[in-house]
Protein backbone atom coordinates (compact mmCIF):
# COMPACT_ATOMS: atom_id res chain seq x y z
CA UNK A 1 0.00 0.00 0.00
CA UNK A 2 1.37 3.39 -0.91
CA UNK A 3 2.08 5.88 1.81
CA UNK A 4 -0.51 8.37 0.59
CA UNK A 5 -3.45 6.03 1.10
CA UNK A 6 -6.26 7.58 3.07
CA UNK A 7 -9.99 7.73 3.33
CA UNK A 8 -11.06 9.37 0.07
CA UNK A 9 -14.79 9.44 0.52
CA UNK A 10 -17.52 8.36 2.91
CA UNK A 11 -21.20 8.14 1.94
CA UNK A 12 -24.20 6.70 3.78
CA UNK A 13 -26.15 3.89 2.20
CA UNK A 14 -29.57 5.33 1.27
CA UNK A 15 -32.35 4.25 3.64
CA UNK A 16 -35.02 1.89 2.30
CA UNK A 17 -37.69 4.56 2.13
CA UNK A 18 -38.29 8.26 2.61
CA UNK A 19 -39.10 7.75 6.27
CA UNK A 20 -37.14 4.52 6.55
CA UNK A 21 -34.31 3.97 8.97
CA UNK A 22 -30.94 3.35 7.40
CA UNK A 23 -29.92 -0.27 7.15
CA UNK A 24 -26.52 -1.92 7.12
CA UNK A 25 -24.78 -2.72 3.89
CA UNK A 26 -25.27 -6.44 3.30
CA UNK A 27 -22.74 -6.78 0.51
CA UNK A 28 -20.24 -4.53 -1.20
CA UNK A 29 -18.54 -5.15 -4.55
CA UNK A 30 -16.49 -3.23 -7.04
CA UNK A 31 -17.59 -3.48 -10.63
CA UNK A 32 -15.16 -5.32 -12.88
CA UNK A 33 -15.54 -3.13 -15.96
CA UNK A 34 -16.86 0.30 -14.94
CA UNK A 35 -15.95 2.85 -12.30
CA UNK A 36 -18.76 1.71 -10.05
CA UNK A 37 -19.08 0.43 -6.51
CA UNK A 38 -22.17 -1.66 -5.80
CA UNK A 39 -23.89 -2.18 -2.49
CA UNK A 40 -26.80 -4.38 -1.48
CA UNK A 41 -29.05 -3.69 1.49
CA UNK A 42 -31.15 -5.76 3.87
CA UNK A 43 -34.31 -5.35 1.80
CA UNK A 44 -33.10 -6.68 -1.53
CA UNK A 45 -32.15 -3.32 -2.99
CA UNK A 46 -28.98 -2.85 -5.01
CA UNK A 47 -27.43 0.62 -5.45
CA UNK A 48 -24.42 1.72 -7.43
CA UNK A 49 -22.03 4.59 -6.80
CA UNK A 50 -19.82 6.24 -9.38
CA UNK A 51 -16.19 7.22 -9.09
CA UNK A 52 -14.06 8.45 -6.22
CA UNK A 53 -16.86 10.74 -4.96
CA UNK A 54 -19.23 7.77 -4.77
CA UNK A 55 -21.90 9.72 -6.58
CA UNK A 56 -25.14 7.78 -6.60
CA UNK A 57 -25.77 6.26 -10.01
CA UNK A 58 -28.55 3.68 -10.28
CA UNK A 59 -30.62 1.70 -7.82
CA UNK A 60 -33.05 -1.14 -8.26
CA UNK A 61 -34.91 -3.74 -6.32
CA UNK A 62 -33.49 -7.16 -7.03
CA UNK A 63 -35.68 -9.17 -4.67
CA UNK A 64 -38.91 -8.82 -2.82
CA UNK A 65 -38.63 -7.15 0.54
CA UNK A 66 -39.62 -10.32 2.39
CA UNK A 67 -36.85 -12.31 0.73
CA UNK A 68 -34.23 -10.67 2.89
CA UNK A 69 -30.89 -9.21 2.05
CA UNK A 70 -28.71 -9.23 -1.02
CA UNK A 71 -26.03 -11.82 -0.33
CA UNK A 72 -23.63 -11.39 -3.20
CA UNK A 73 -23.07 -9.55 -6.47
CA UNK A 74 -21.28 -10.76 -9.61
CA UNK A 75 -20.56 -8.88 -12.82
CA UNK A 76 -20.18 -9.67 -16.46
CA UNK A 77 -20.16 -7.51 -19.56
CA UNK A 78 -23.97 -7.41 -19.79
CA UNK A 79 -24.76 -6.46 -16.24
CA UNK A 80 -24.87 -7.31 -12.57
CA UNK A 81 -26.15 -10.50 -10.94
CA UNK A 82 -27.65 -10.16 -7.46
CA UNK A 83 -28.24 -13.12 -5.19
CA UNK A 84 -31.04 -13.17 -2.64
CA UNK A 85 -32.08 -16.04 -0.38
CA UNK A 86 -34.88 -17.20 -2.67
CA UNK A 87 -34.11 -15.79 -6.09
CA UNK A 88 -31.41 -14.67 -8.48
CA UNK A 89 -31.80 -11.41 -10.37
CA UNK A 90 -29.80 -9.98 -13.23
CA UNK A 91 -30.02 -6.36 -14.29
CA UNK A 92 -28.21 -4.01 -16.60
CA UNK A 93 -25.84 -1.63 -14.89
CA UNK A 94 -28.24 1.11 -15.89
CA UNK A 95 -30.94 -0.58 -13.81
CA UNK A 96 -33.50 -2.28 -16.08
CA UNK A 97 -33.84 -5.98 -15.29
CA UNK A 98 -32.64 -8.67 -17.67
CA UNK A 99 -34.00 -11.74 -15.95
CA UNK A 100 -35.26 -12.96 -12.60
CA UNK A 101 -35.15 -16.59 -11.51
CA UNK A 102 -37.31 -17.91 -8.74
CA UNK A 103 -37.35 -21.62 -8.08
CA UNK A 104 -39.21 -23.53 -5.40
CA UNK A 105 -36.00 -25.22 -4.27
CA UNK A 106 -34.26 -21.88 -3.76
CA UNK A 107 -34.71 -21.45 -0.05
CA UNK A 108 -31.55 -20.30 1.66
CA UNK A 109 -29.14 -19.25 -1.04
CA UNK A 110 -25.94 -17.66 0.20
CA UNK A 111 -23.26 -17.59 -2.45
CA UNK A 112 -22.44 -18.00 -6.13
CA UNK A 113 -19.44 -18.20 -8.45
CA UNK A 114 -18.72 -18.28 -12.16
CA UNK A 115 -17.87 -21.73 -13.51
CA UNK A 116 -15.48 -23.04 -16.13
CA UNK A 117 -17.51 -21.33 -18.86
CA UNK A 118 -16.16 -17.84 -18.21
CA UNK A 119 -18.88 -15.43 -17.22
CA UNK A 120 -21.61 -17.30 -19.10
CA UNK A 121 -22.56 -19.64 -16.28
CA UNK A 122 -22.84 -19.45 -12.51
CA UNK A 123 -23.06 -22.00 -9.72
CA UNK A 124 -25.43 -20.98 -6.92
CA UNK A 125 -25.39 -22.60 -3.49
CA UNK A 126 -26.37 -21.93 0.08
CA UNK A 127 -27.49 -23.40 3.34
CA UNK A 128 -29.66 -25.93 1.57
CA UNK A 129 -29.30 -29.34 -0.06
CA UNK A 130 -29.44 -28.26 -3.69
CA UNK A 131 -27.11 -26.26 -5.89
CA UNK A 132 -28.16 -24.63 -9.14
CA UNK A 133 -26.26 -24.09 -12.36
CA UNK A 134 -27.63 -21.06 -14.20
CA UNK A 135 -27.00 -19.98 -17.78
CA UNK A 136 -26.38 -16.27 -17.42
CA UNK A 137 -27.10 -15.33 -21.03
CA UNK A 138 -30.42 -17.14 -21.25
CA UNK A 139 -31.43 -16.63 -17.64
CA UNK A 140 -32.37 -20.27 -17.10
CA UNK A 141 -31.59 -22.97 -14.57
CA UNK A 142 -29.52 -25.52 -16.51
CA UNK A 143 -28.92 -28.10 -13.81
CA UNK A 144 -29.87 -28.81 -10.22
CA UNK A 145 -27.23 -30.64 -8.21
CA UNK A 146 -27.80 -32.34 -4.86
CA UNK A 147 -25.19 -31.58 -2.23
CA UNK A 148 -24.57 -32.69 1.33
CA UNK A 149 -22.62 -29.58 2.24
CA UNK A 150 -23.92 -26.15 3.03
CA UNK A 151 -21.86 -23.31 1.63
CA UNK A 152 -21.77 -19.67 2.59
CA UNK A 153 -18.92 -18.14 0.61
CA UNK A 154 -17.74 -18.97 -2.90
CA UNK A 155 -14.85 -17.58 -4.89
CA UNK A 156 -13.50 -18.70 -8.20
CA UNK A 157 -9.83 -18.79 -9.03
CA UNK A 158 -8.43 -21.83 -10.83
CA UNK A 159 -11.07 -23.89 -9.02
CA UNK A 160 -14.26 -22.95 -7.24
CA UNK A 161 -13.42 -22.47 -3.59
CA UNK A 162 -16.41 -22.81 -1.31
CA UNK A 163 -16.42 -22.15 2.43
CA UNK A 164 -18.83 -24.37 4.31
CA UNK A 165 -20.93 -23.24 7.24
CA UNK A 166 -18.46 -25.19 9.36
CA UNK A 167 -14.73 -24.87 9.43
CA UNK A 168 -13.74 -26.27 6.04
CA UNK A 169 -13.07 -24.92 2.59
CA UNK A 170 -14.04 -27.25 -0.24
CA UNK A 171 -12.25 -27.01 -3.53
CA UNK A 172 -14.75 -27.86 -6.26
CA UNK A 173 -13.95 -28.88 -9.78
CA UNK A 174 -15.31 -26.05 -11.93
CA UNK A 175 -16.70 -28.44 -14.57
CA UNK A 176 -18.23 -31.30 -12.59
CA UNK A 177 -18.71 -29.39 -9.29
CA UNK A 178 -17.42 -32.41 -7.36
CA UNK A 179 -15.44 -31.81 -4.18
CA UNK A 180 -11.84 -32.47 -5.14
CA UNK A 181 -10.15 -31.43 -1.89
CA UNK A 182 -11.20 -30.47 1.60
CA UNK A 183 -9.09 -28.02 3.54
CA UNK A 184 -9.93 -27.55 7.19
CA UNK A 185 -8.84 -24.01 7.69
CA UNK A 186 -10.10 -23.27 11.17
CA UNK A 187 -11.05 -25.07 14.30
CA UNK A 188 -14.34 -23.19 14.49
CA UNK A 189 -16.17 -21.34 11.71
CA UNK A 190 -14.94 -19.47 8.68
CA UNK A 191 -15.89 -15.82 8.69
CA UNK A 192 -14.39 -14.55 5.46
CA UNK A 193 -12.48 -16.07 2.59
CA UNK A 194 -10.94 -15.03 -0.69
CA UNK A 195 -9.24 -16.93 -3.48
CA UNK A 196 -7.04 -15.63 -6.22
CA UNK A 197 -4.65 -17.27 -8.64
CA UNK A 198 -2.68 -19.64 -6.43
CA UNK A 199 -3.91 -18.90 -2.94
CA UNK A 200 -6.90 -19.19 -0.68
CA UNK A 201 -6.90 -17.00 2.40
CA UNK A 202 -9.42 -17.43 5.18
CA UNK A 203 -10.11 -15.96 8.57
CA UNK A 204 -12.45 -17.34 11.18
CA UNK A 205 -14.08 -17.04 14.54
CA UNK A 206 -13.34 -19.11 17.59
CA UNK A 207 -16.04 -19.54 20.19
CA UNK A 208 -14.99 -18.54 23.68
CA UNK A 209 -16.52 -19.07 27.06
CA UNK A 210 -19.58 -17.04 28.02
CA UNK A 211 -21.02 -17.65 24.58
CA UNK A 212 -19.40 -14.88 22.57
CA UNK A 213 -16.93 -15.61 19.84
CA UNK A 214 -13.69 -13.96 18.89
CA UNK A 215 -11.95 -13.42 15.62
CA UNK A 216 -8.97 -15.65 15.16
CA UNK A 217 -5.59 -13.98 15.34
CA UNK A 218 -4.37 -16.00 12.37
CA UNK A 219 -5.12 -15.75 8.66
CA UNK A 220 -4.91 -19.22 7.20
CA UNK A 221 -3.42 -19.67 3.76
CA UNK A 222 -3.72 -22.51 1.27
CA UNK A 223 -1.51 -22.99 -1.76
CA UNK A 224 -3.70 -24.01 -4.72
CA UNK A 225 -0.76 -24.76 -6.97
CA UNK A 226 0.72 -27.44 -4.73
CA UNK A 227 -2.53 -28.19 -2.89
CA UNK A 228 -0.97 -27.79 0.53
CA UNK A 229 -1.71 -25.67 3.54
CA UNK A 230 0.82 -22.92 4.21
CA UNK A 231 1.96 -21.23 7.38
CA UNK A 232 -0.74 -18.97 8.75
CA UNK A 233 -0.13 -15.23 8.86
CA UNK A 234 -0.40 -13.72 12.34
CA UNK A 235 -2.82 -10.85 12.82
CA UNK A 236 -2.95 -9.82 16.47
CA UNK A 237 -5.94 -7.50 16.16
CA UNK A 238 -8.21 -10.38 15.13
CA UNK A 239 -8.75 -10.92 11.41
CA UNK A 240 -12.35 -10.37 10.35
CA UNK A 241 -12.09 -9.75 6.61
CA UNK A 242 -9.50 -10.69 4.08
CA UNK A 243 -8.99 -10.04 0.36
CA UNK A 244 -6.19 -10.98 -2.02
CA UNK A 245 -4.64 -8.07 -3.87
CA UNK A 246 -5.70 -8.44 -7.52
CA UNK A 247 -2.42 -7.22 -8.97
CA UNK A 248 0.17 -8.41 -6.48
CA UNK A 249 -0.41 -12.13 -6.41
CA UNK A 250 1.12 -12.84 -3.01
CA UNK A 251 -0.22 -9.80 -1.19
CA UNK A 252 -3.37 -9.80 0.87
CA UNK A 253 -5.29 -7.14 2.73
CA UNK A 254 -6.56 -8.08 6.18
CA UNK A 255 -8.99 -5.94 8.14
CA UNK A 256 -10.01 -6.30 11.76
CA UNK A 257 -13.55 -5.67 12.95
CA UNK A 258 -12.60 -2.24 14.28
CA UNK A 259 -10.96 -1.11 11.08
CA UNK A 260 -7.28 -1.90 11.39
CA UNK A 261 -6.05 -2.55 7.86
CA UNK A 262 -2.91 -4.59 7.26
CA UNK A 263 -1.35 -5.14 3.88
CA UNK A 264 0.67 -8.34 4.17
CA UNK A 265 2.84 -10.27 1.80
CA UNK A 266 2.01 -13.93 2.32
CA UNK A 267 5.56 -14.95 1.47
CA UNK A 268 7.04 -12.49 3.91
CA UNK A 269 4.48 -11.87 6.67
CA UNK A 270 6.76 -9.73 8.82
CA UNK A 271 6.65 -6.71 6.52
CA UNK A 272 3.19 -5.37 6.89
CA UNK A 273 1.77 -1.96 6.26
CA UNK A 274 -0.80 -0.74 8.78
CA UNK A 275 -3.66 1.78 8.46
CA UNK A 276 -6.63 2.56 10.66
CA UNK A 277 -10.12 3.29 9.36
CA UNK A 278 -12.19 5.35 11.77
CA UNK A 279 -15.51 3.94 12.82
CA UNK A 280 -16.74 1.45 15.38
CA UNK A 281 -17.39 -1.83 13.67
CA UNK A 282 -17.00 -2.87 10.08
CA UNK A 283 -19.40 -5.24 8.40
CA UNK A 284 -17.92 -5.99 4.99
CA UNK A 285 -15.06 -4.98 2.72
CA UNK A 286 -13.99 -5.30 -0.90
CA UNK A 287 -10.98 -4.40 -3.00
CA UNK A 288 -11.20 -2.94 -6.50
CA UNK A 289 -9.98 -5.02 -9.48
CA UNK A 290 -7.29 -2.38 -10.06
CA UNK A 291 -6.02 -2.78 -6.51
CA UNK A 292 -6.10 1.01 -6.19
CA UNK A 293 -9.17 1.27 -3.96
CA UNK A 294 -10.65 -0.51 -0.96
CA UNK A 295 -14.22 -0.08 0.22
CA UNK A 296 -15.38 -0.78 3.77
CA UNK A 297 -18.89 -0.75 5.15
CA UNK A 298 -19.29 0.18 8.79
CA UNK A 299 -21.94 -0.54 11.39
CA UNK A 300 -23.32 2.97 11.08
CA UNK A 301 -24.48 2.31 7.52
CA UNK A 302 -21.66 4.26 5.87
CA UNK A 303 -19.46 3.19 2.99
CA UNK A 304 -15.82 4.24 3.30
CA UNK A 305 -13.63 4.44 0.26
CA UNK A 306 -9.87 4.17 0.75
CA UNK A 307 -7.17 4.82 -1.77
CA UNK A 308 -4.56 7.28 -2.88
CA UNK A 309 -6.27 10.60 -3.61
CA UNK A 310 -4.32 11.28 -6.78
CA UNK A 311 -4.65 7.97 -8.62
CA UNK A 312 -7.69 6.20 -7.24
CA UNK A 313 -9.58 4.21 -9.84
CA UNK A 314 -11.61 1.02 -9.66
CA UNK A 315 -11.55 -1.02 -12.84
CA UNK A 316 -8.47 -2.08 -14.72
CA UNK A 317 -9.87 -1.16 -18.12
CA UNK A 318 -12.72 1.14 -17.32
CA UNK A 319 -15.57 1.39 -19.79
CA UNK A 320 -17.35 4.73 -19.64
CA UNK A 321 -20.42 4.81 -17.43
CA UNK A 322 -23.58 5.58 -19.36
CA UNK A 323 -25.27 8.59 -17.85
CA UNK A 324 -28.53 10.20 -18.82
CA UNK A 325 -28.17 12.85 -21.48
CA UNK A 326 -29.95 16.13 -21.39
CA UNK A 327 -31.67 16.75 -24.67
CA UNK A 328 -30.77 20.42 -24.87
CA UNK A 329 -33.02 23.36 -24.09
CA UNK A 330 -36.72 22.66 -24.23
CA UNK A 331 -39.00 25.08 -26.06
CA UNK A 332 -41.57 26.55 -23.71
CA UNK A 333 -45.07 26.10 -24.99
CA UNK A 334 -48.37 27.64 -24.13
CA UNK A 335 -51.28 25.41 -23.23
CA UNK A 336 -53.96 26.78 -25.44
CA UNK A 337 -56.21 25.53 -28.15
CA UNK A 338 -54.11 27.03 -30.90
CA UNK A 339 -50.78 25.54 -29.92
CA UNK A 340 -50.04 23.07 -32.67
CA UNK A 341 -48.68 19.79 -31.39
CA UNK A 342 -46.13 19.94 -34.16
CA UNK A 343 -44.31 22.80 -32.43
CA UNK A 344 -41.74 20.34 -31.12
CA UNK A 345 -40.03 18.68 -34.03
CA UNK A 346 -39.36 14.99 -34.32
CA UNK A 347 -35.81 13.75 -33.85
CA UNK A 348 -34.17 12.07 -36.80
CA UNK A 349 -35.47 8.55 -37.26
CA UNK A 350 -35.21 5.67 -39.71
CA UNK A 351 -37.35 2.93 -38.25
CA UNK A 352 -41.11 2.46 -38.06
CA UNK A 353 -42.54 4.84 -35.52
CA UNK A 354 -44.08 3.50 -32.36
CA UNK A 355 -47.29 5.38 -33.06
CA UNK A 356 -47.96 3.18 -36.09
CA UNK A 357 -50.97 1.04 -35.23
CA UNK A 358 -51.39 -2.49 -36.51
CA UNK A 359 -53.18 -2.44 -39.82
CA UNK A 360 -55.47 -5.40 -39.29
CA UNK A 361 -57.30 -4.11 -36.24
CA UNK A 362 -60.70 -3.12 -37.56
CA UNK A 363 -63.39 -2.05 -35.18
CA UNK A 364 -66.86 -0.87 -36.12
CA UNK A 365 -67.84 2.53 -34.92
CA UNK A 366 -71.18 4.11 -34.39
CA UNK A 367 -72.98 1.26 -32.68
CA UNK A 368 -75.85 2.47 -30.55
CA UNK A 369 -74.96 3.07 -26.91
CA UNK A 370 -75.69 0.34 -24.39
CA UNK A 371 -79.10 0.48 -22.82
CA UNK A 372 -79.22 1.34 -19.16
CA UNK A 373 -80.98 -1.33 -17.20
CA UNK A 374 -83.60 0.45 -15.13
CA UNK A 375 -83.66 -2.31 -12.53
CA UNK A 376 -79.93 -1.92 -12.13
CA UNK A 377 -80.20 1.85 -11.90
CA UNK A 378 -82.72 1.45 -9.09
CA UNK A 379 -80.07 -0.29 -6.95
CA UNK A 380 -77.79 2.73 -7.09
CA UNK A 381 -77.67 5.58 -4.63
CA UNK A 382 -78.06 9.13 -5.83
CA UNK A 383 -75.71 12.00 -5.10
CA UNK A 384 -75.58 15.38 -6.71
CA UNK A 385 -72.68 14.35 -8.93
CA UNK A 386 -74.32 11.16 -10.13
CA UNK A 387 -75.19 7.65 -9.11
CA UNK A 388 -73.08 5.03 -7.45
CA UNK A 389 -73.34 1.47 -6.23
CA UNK A 390 -72.12 -2.03 -6.89
CA UNK A 391 -71.73 -3.46 -10.36
CA UNK A 392 -74.52 -6.08 -10.35
CA UNK A 393 -75.25 -6.09 -14.07
CA UNK A 394 -73.59 -9.45 -14.68
CA UNK A 395 -71.00 -8.04 -17.04
CA UNK A 396 -67.39 -7.20 -16.28
CA UNK A 397 -66.31 -3.67 -15.75
CA UNK A 398 -65.65 -1.94 -19.04
CA UNK A 399 -66.85 -5.02 -20.91
CA UNK A 400 -67.88 -4.26 -24.46
CA UNK A 401 -71.45 -5.10 -25.36
CA UNK A 402 -72.47 -5.86 -28.88
CA UNK A 403 -75.47 -3.57 -29.00
CA UNK A 404 -75.68 -3.68 -32.76
CA UNK A 405 -76.26 -7.41 -33.11
CA UNK A 406 -78.82 -7.32 -30.30
CA UNK A 407 -80.74 -4.77 -32.27
CA UNK A 408 -80.49 -6.80 -35.42
CA UNK A 409 -81.81 -9.92 -33.74
CA UNK A 410 -84.76 -8.02 -32.42
CA UNK A 411 -85.54 -6.48 -35.76
CA UNK A 412 -85.28 -9.87 -37.47
CA UNK A 413 -87.76 -11.41 -35.10
CA UNK A 414 -90.28 -8.62 -35.14
CA UNK A 415 -92.30 -7.77 -38.17
CA UNK A 416 -92.03 -4.18 -39.29
CA UNK A 417 -94.52 -1.96 -37.57
CA UNK A 418 -96.99 0.37 -39.14
CA UNK A 419 -96.85 4.00 -38.17
CA UNK A 420 -99.94 3.62 -36.01
CA UNK A 421 -98.38 0.68 -34.21
CA UNK A 422 -95.24 2.71 -33.59
CA UNK A 423 -97.29 5.47 -32.09
CA UNK A 424 -99.02 2.94 -29.86
CA UNK A 425 -95.77 1.40 -28.66
CA UNK A 426 -94.42 4.85 -27.88
CA UNK A 427 -97.48 5.46 -25.80
CA UNK A 428 -96.82 2.20 -23.93
CA UNK A 429 -93.27 3.07 -22.87
CA UNK A 430 -93.31 4.21 -19.24
CA UNK A 431 -92.28 7.83 -19.60
CA UNK A 432 -93.99 8.26 -22.91
CA UNK A 433 -90.68 8.79 -24.67
CA UNK A 434 -89.36 6.51 -27.38
CA UNK A 435 -86.55 4.16 -26.46
CA UNK A 436 -83.15 5.33 -27.78
CA UNK A 437 -82.89 2.75 -30.55
CA UNK A 438 -86.11 4.01 -32.12
CA UNK A 439 -84.89 7.56 -32.16
CA UNK A 440 -81.51 6.91 -33.74
CA UNK A 441 -82.63 6.09 -37.32
CA UNK A 442 -84.83 9.13 -37.51
CA UNK A 443 -82.02 11.41 -36.40
CA UNK A 444 -79.66 10.01 -38.96
CA UNK A 445 -82.03 10.75 -41.81
CA UNK B 1 -47.90 26.56 -48.06
CA UNK B 2 -50.44 27.24 -45.39
CA UNK B 3 -52.41 24.18 -46.40
CA UNK B 4 -49.20 22.23 -46.20
CA UNK B 5 -48.39 23.42 -42.72
CA UNK B 6 -51.95 22.79 -41.60
CA UNK B 7 -51.71 19.30 -43.00
CA UNK B 8 -48.43 18.73 -41.11
CA UNK B 9 -50.13 19.92 -37.97
CA UNK B 10 -53.01 17.51 -38.29
CA UNK B 11 -50.68 14.63 -39.12
CA UNK B 12 -48.67 15.34 -35.97
CA UNK B 13 -51.85 15.48 -33.88
CA UNK B 14 -52.91 12.11 -35.18
CA UNK B 15 -49.51 10.63 -34.55
CA UNK B 16 -49.31 11.85 -30.98
CA UNK B 17 -52.91 10.85 -30.28
CA UNK B 18 -52.19 7.32 -31.50
CA UNK B 19 -49.07 7.12 -29.36
CA UNK B 20 -50.90 8.31 -26.26
CA UNK B 21 -53.65 5.78 -26.97
CA UNK B 22 -51.09 3.01 -27.17
CA UNK B 23 -49.58 4.01 -23.85
CA UNK B 24 -53.05 4.35 -22.37
CA UNK B 25 -54.03 0.82 -23.34
CA UNK B 26 -50.94 -0.60 -21.70
CA UNK B 27 -50.53 1.13 -18.37
CA UNK B 28 -52.37 0.05 -15.23
CA UNK B 29 -54.46 -2.72 -16.71
CA UNK B 30 -55.88 -4.81 -13.85
CA UNK B 31 -55.08 -8.01 -15.76
CA UNK B 32 -51.45 -7.19 -15.05
CA UNK B 33 -51.93 -7.01 -11.28
CA UNK B 34 -49.88 -9.76 -9.68
CA UNK B 35 -48.00 -10.31 -12.92
CA UNK B 36 -44.35 -10.54 -11.83
CA UNK B 37 -43.09 -8.71 -14.89
CA UNK B 38 -44.90 -5.54 -13.77
CA UNK B 39 -43.72 -5.70 -10.16
CA UNK B 40 -40.93 -3.57 -8.87
CA UNK B 41 -38.27 -6.02 -9.97
CA UNK B 42 -40.06 -6.97 -13.17
CA UNK B 43 -38.99 -5.99 -16.65
CA UNK B 44 -41.97 -3.74 -17.32
CA UNK B 45 -41.71 -1.56 -14.25
CA UNK B 46 -39.87 1.03 -16.33
CA UNK B 47 -42.97 1.66 -18.46
CA UNK B 48 -44.81 2.84 -15.38
CA UNK B 49 -41.88 5.02 -14.49
CA UNK B 50 -41.80 6.46 -18.01
CA UNK B 51 -45.47 7.41 -17.74
CA UNK B 52 -44.61 9.25 -14.53
CA UNK B 53 -41.61 10.85 -16.21
CA UNK B 54 -43.71 12.27 -19.04
CA UNK B 55 -46.94 13.22 -17.32
CA UNK B 56 -46.19 13.57 -13.62
CA UNK B 57 -43.44 16.19 -13.65
CA UNK B 58 -43.17 18.33 -10.53
CA UNK B 59 -41.14 21.37 -9.60
CA UNK B 60 -38.76 21.65 -6.65
CA UNK B 61 -41.59 22.27 -4.19
CA UNK B 62 -43.59 19.34 -5.48
CA UNK B 63 -46.23 21.20 -7.47
CA UNK B 64 -47.29 19.64 -10.74
CA UNK B 65 -45.65 21.06 -13.84
CA UNK B 66 -47.74 20.86 -16.98
CA UNK B 67 -45.05 21.42 -19.54
CA UNK B 68 -46.51 20.68 -22.94
CA UNK B 69 -43.10 20.98 -24.58
CA UNK B 70 -41.66 18.29 -22.32
CA UNK B 71 -44.55 15.95 -22.97
CA UNK B 72 -44.49 16.35 -26.72
CA UNK B 73 -40.73 16.12 -27.05
CA UNK B 74 -40.55 13.02 -24.82
CA UNK B 75 -43.33 11.41 -26.79
CA UNK B 76 -41.65 12.29 -30.05
CA UNK B 77 -38.41 10.78 -28.86
CA UNK B 78 -40.23 7.65 -27.78
CA UNK B 79 -42.01 7.49 -31.11
CA UNK B 80 -38.74 7.59 -32.98
CA UNK B 81 -36.94 5.40 -30.42
CA UNK B 82 -33.72 7.39 -30.38
CA UNK B 83 -30.59 6.46 -28.45
CA UNK B 84 -30.85 9.27 -25.92
CA UNK B 85 -30.84 8.07 -22.32
CA UNK B 86 -33.04 9.42 -19.56
CA UNK B 87 -33.27 9.06 -15.80
CA UNK B 88 -36.33 7.28 -14.49
CA UNK B 89 -36.95 7.39 -10.76
CA UNK B 90 -39.64 5.66 -8.76
CA UNK B 91 -42.06 7.64 -6.60
CA UNK B 92 -40.09 6.93 -3.44
CA UNK B 93 -36.84 7.82 -5.26
CA UNK B 94 -35.43 4.46 -4.28
CA UNK B 95 -35.25 3.03 -7.76
CA UNK B 96 -33.21 4.90 -10.33
CA UNK B 97 -32.88 3.64 -13.90
CA UNK B 98 -30.99 5.03 -16.86
CA UNK B 99 -32.89 3.89 -19.95
CA UNK B 100 -32.72 4.84 -23.61
CA UNK B 101 -35.80 5.73 -25.64
CA UNK B 102 -34.88 2.91 -27.95
CA UNK B 103 -35.31 0.33 -25.17
CA UNK B 104 -38.56 1.93 -24.03
CA UNK B 105 -39.94 1.86 -27.54
CA UNK B 106 -39.18 -1.83 -27.85
CA UNK B 107 -40.80 -2.49 -24.51
CA UNK B 108 -43.99 -0.60 -25.42
CA UNK B 109 -44.19 -2.38 -28.78
CA UNK B 110 -43.82 -5.77 -27.08
CA UNK B 111 -46.51 -5.01 -24.52
CA UNK B 112 -48.88 -3.70 -27.14
CA UNK B 113 -48.37 -6.72 -29.35
CA UNK B 114 -49.06 -8.94 -26.40
CA UNK B 115 -52.34 -7.13 -25.80
CA UNK B 116 -53.27 -7.37 -29.46
CA UNK B 117 -52.36 -11.03 -29.86
CA UNK B 118 -54.62 -13.40 -27.88
CA UNK B 119 -57.98 -12.34 -29.32
CA UNK B 120 -57.00 -10.81 -32.60
CA UNK B 121 -59.98 -9.04 -34.08
CA UNK B 122 -62.81 -8.41 -31.71
Residue B23 phi/psi, 5-degree rounding, is -65, -40
For residue A413, the SS3 value is: helix
Q: Quickly count: other Cβ atoms within 10 Å of residue B78's Cβ.
A: 23
A87-119 confidence digits (pLDDT tens): 999 999 998 889 999 889 898 999 999 998 888
**pLDDT at residue A300 in the model:** 82
ipTM surpasses 0.95: no
Q: Quickly count: other Cβ atoms within 10 Å of residue A199's Cβ.
A: 21
**pLDDT at residue B64 in the model:** 86
Rounded Cα gap, residues A140 and A135, in angstroms? 5
Rounded Cα gap, residues A97 and A59, in angstroms? 11
Q: In chain B, which residues have their Cβ closer than 8 Å to the Cβ of A342? A: 8-9, 11-13
Q: Residue length, chain B?
A: 122
Instruction: Give buried/exposed letters for A224-237 (b at 16+ CB in 10 A, else e).
Output: beeeeeeebbebeb
**Residue A136 pLDDT level (bands cut at 50, 70, 90):** very high
Whether residues B81 and A363 touch (CB distance < 8 A) is answered with: no
Q: Please answer whether residues B108 and B26 qualify as being in contact, where contact means their C-beta atoms are separated by less than 8 angstroms.
A: yes
Instruction: Give the mean model confidence (pLDDT) for residues A141-149.
Output: 90
Q: In chain B, which residues have their Cβ closer than 8 Å to the Cβ of A346? A: 76, 79-80
Three-state secondary structure readout of A78-101? CCEEEECCCEEEEECCCCCEEEEE
Q: Please answer whether residues A284 and A27 qualify as being in contact, where contact means their C-beta atoms are separated by less than 8 angstroms.
A: yes
Residue A354 has pLDDT above 50, yes or no: yes
Rounded Cα gap, residues A220 and A354, in angstroms? 60
Q: Residue A319: left (phi > 0), alpha (psi -120 to 50), or beta?
A: beta
**pLDDT at residue A295 in the model:** 92
**pLDDT at residue A29 in the model:** 92
Q: Which residues make beta-bridge pairs with A199? A: A196, A223
List, in order, residues 6 or more apart from A42 with CB less than 8 Å away: A16, A23, A24, A26, A68, A69
Which one of B39, B66, B97 has the shortest CB-CB distance to A95? B97
Instruction: Tell me if chain A has a CB within 8 Å of the CB of B72.
Output: yes
Number of inter-chain CB pairs under 8 A, A vs B: 150
**pLDDT at residue A302 in the model:** 87
Residue A445 has pLDDT above 50, yes or no: no
| A283-287, A370-374, B25-29: least confident range | A370-374
Residue A347 DSSP one-character state: P
Rounded Cα gap, residues A379 and A381, in angstroms? 7
Residue A413 has pLDDT above 70, yes or no: no
Amino acid sequence: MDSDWDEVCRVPLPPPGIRGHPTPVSTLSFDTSQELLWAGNEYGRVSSFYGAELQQYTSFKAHKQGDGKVHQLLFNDKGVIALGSRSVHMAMRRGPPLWHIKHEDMKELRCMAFTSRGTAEILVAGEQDKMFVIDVNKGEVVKILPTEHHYKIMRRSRHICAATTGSAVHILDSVTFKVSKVWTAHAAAIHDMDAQHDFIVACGVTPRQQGYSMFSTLVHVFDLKNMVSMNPVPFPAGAAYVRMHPRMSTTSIVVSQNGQIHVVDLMNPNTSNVRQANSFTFTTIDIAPSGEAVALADGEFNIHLWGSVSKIHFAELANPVEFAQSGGPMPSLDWNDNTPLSSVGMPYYREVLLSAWPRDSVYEVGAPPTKEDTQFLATLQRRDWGLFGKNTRGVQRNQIEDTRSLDKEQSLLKAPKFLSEKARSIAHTPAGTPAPEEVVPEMSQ
Amino acid sequence: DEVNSNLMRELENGRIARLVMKLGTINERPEFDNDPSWSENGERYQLKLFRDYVFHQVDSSGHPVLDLGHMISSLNKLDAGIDERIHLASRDNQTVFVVSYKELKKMVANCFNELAKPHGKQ
